Structures are given as structure tokens and as C-alpha cells.
Amino acid sequence: MCIRDSNGHGDIPPIDIDAYPAIKAHLDQYWDKLAKRQDKGVTPYNLRNCAYIDEFEKEKIVWGNLALSCQFALADAGFYINAPSPLIGSEDRYLLAVLNSTVADFYIRSLGVTRNGGYFEYKPMFVEKLPVPNAPDDKRTPFQILADYVLLTTKKDKTLESAFFEQLIDGLVYELYFPDEIKAAGKEILPHLGELSPITDSMSEEEKLAVIHREFNRLYDPNHPVRNNLETLDSVEVVRAIREALKK
């Protein structure tokens, strides 16, 4: 949907039809009808521009309007989506991680109605009400690094690694929203995480995967407190309640 009124007014100029001769030639076949339209805007072609067209040329967070659970994804720059798939004009991995958490899913789903088959409409009117914690940079960094791990391991079909890092992110989100409950139960994750190694654009894909695999081996060790706390996080009442509610 383009943010303009029916007359094409606004700060964004209408599309220049002459820049698209094939489309103009097709529409010109119907000129007599086009010229009589009441909603033709500033030109009979009614090709109003989109107020957020530039957002498609950036990385952005996108998702399907109807799904069984939250499925927010990062779309490449230059990737276009059409309605009813919404988008957020941001490449923030921290925001992406929070949106894909079971905490966020529980909250968003509490605002709307589930359709037949368990499908839920993840409309922007529900998603935008999610209170995203305004965490300091030092707490955001692990989410950003881990989100990059998940994006690459998912792409390369590293199923075990991607599943573990998704679980790890989800556990960290619980710690964001319920720090007192998590600490009281002795299930903190962030203090035991250590310094995660980021993957950068200057690395080859093989180098990135090597970094991810090294961090996976470190944190997935059966004796590591991160893995132990993740696997017993359901012992925290609020975590258990949210997860059980999402199964219904």
C-alpha cells in the first residue's frame, strides 16, 4: 500500500509513465476509459508512487501476514514483497531476534484472533504493540551475532547448529523480559555466554562457518552452563506458562 491520498498529492511525485513505454502502450488502449476515471490522481494512468519505496532497496524485516507461528525474516536489499506481507524498514538483528522469540509470539497472539487450522494474522496493528526492551549495546550485541549465525546456518542447512542458536536466542529473550525470575531460578544465560566471535563481511563463507562451528562446540558442550540452563529453562514458571500456552 502506498501512502498517498486518492488525488496523488503528497511529497512523493507520481511515477513517470514515459519511463515505462510498454506499460504506457498497454494502458493507452484504454485511454477513453482511463480519462473518465474519478480516482485517476494527477494523471489518468493513476500511477501514484509509494511513500516508502526506498525501503525496498535496503535490508528489511519481512513476514507473512498469516502463519502458524511468528516467522520474521531478513530480506536482502532490492528484494520486493507485495501485500499482504508487511515489512519493517530495519536490518536490526536484535529486533529480528526478539520478534522471532516465543515471548513475542505469545504477546502478539494475545492481541488477535486465531483462525481456522491454528493460523494467526500477524497484522502490523498487533506486531507494533510489542514492547521491545530498550537494551544497552552490550546486551544487544550477542543477539546480533547469534542472529547472523542462524541466518547462515539455516542457509547452509546446518540443522543442529541453527536449531541450537535459535534456542539460545529464545532463552536470552526470556532473560530480557523476565530477568528477576530467571536469576532467582539460577537459569541465567548471558553471564555464562562469554565473548561471542562475530562473523564479518570480510570473511569467506568457509571462515564464517568455521567461527560458528567453533562457538557451537563451545556452548553445546554437555558440561557448559549455557546448555544446561537452556535445557532446564522450563523449570522457570513464567517460561513454562508461555510455552504451554503456545501449544494450545
Question: What is the 3 state secondary structure string of 84-150?
Answer: CCCEECCCCHHHHHHHCCHHHHHHHHCCCCECHHHCEECCHHHHCCCCCCCCCHHHHHHHHHHHHHH
Q: How far is the C-alpha of 195 from the C-alpha of 193, rounded, in Å?
A: 7
Give residue-wise pLDDT tens across range 37-90: 776 667 777 666 677 778 888 899 999 888 888 899 998 888 888 877 889 999
Contact (Cβ atoms closer than 8 angstroms) between residue 106 and residue 77? no
Per-residue buried b or exposed e for 143-164, using 16+ beta carbons within 10 Å of the residue's own CB? bbbbbbbbbbbbeeebeebbeb
User: What is the reported pLDDT for 82?
Assistant: 80
Q: Is the pLDDT of residue 2 over 60?
A: no
Q: Are 169 and 97 in contact, with CB atoms under 8 Å apart?
A: yes
Mean local confidence (pLDDT), 104-124: 90
Q: Is the pLDDT of residue 206 over 50?
A: yes
- Its sign, for the CA torsion 179, 161, 89, 72, is negative
Joined together, the cell numbers standing for residue 241 give 506458562
Q: What are phi and psi of 104, to 5 degrees?
A: -65, -40
Span 163-188, pLDDT tens digits: 999 999 999 999 999 999 999 999 99
DSSP character string of 10-29: SSSPPP-GGG-HHHHHHHHT
pLDDT category of residue 242 using cuts at 50, 70 and 90: very high
Close Cβ partners of 233 (under 8 Å, ≥ 6 residues apart): 171, 174, 187, 239
Average pLDDT, the chain: 89
Environment class of 68 (CB within 10 Å of its CB; exposed 0-12, middle 13-18, buried 19+): exposed
Q: What is the average per-residue pLDDT within 1-20?
A: 58
Tens of pLDDT, residue by residue over 221-230, are 999 999 999 9
- Report CA Rg, the chain: 23
Residue, of 16 and 8, whose pLDDT is higher: 16
How far is residue 121's CA from residue 31's CA, in Å, rounded to a whole number? 39
* 59 Cβ neighbours under 8 A, 6+ residues apart: 74, 75, 76, 77, 91
Q: Is 161 helix (H, G, I), strand (E, B) or coil?
A: helix
Q: Report the predicted TM-score, pTM, of the whole model to 2 decimal places.
A: 0.81
The dihedrals phi and psi of 180, each to the nearest 5 degrees, come to: -70, -45
pLDDT of residue 73: 92
Distance between CA atoms of 4 and 52, rounded to whole angstroms? Answer: 10
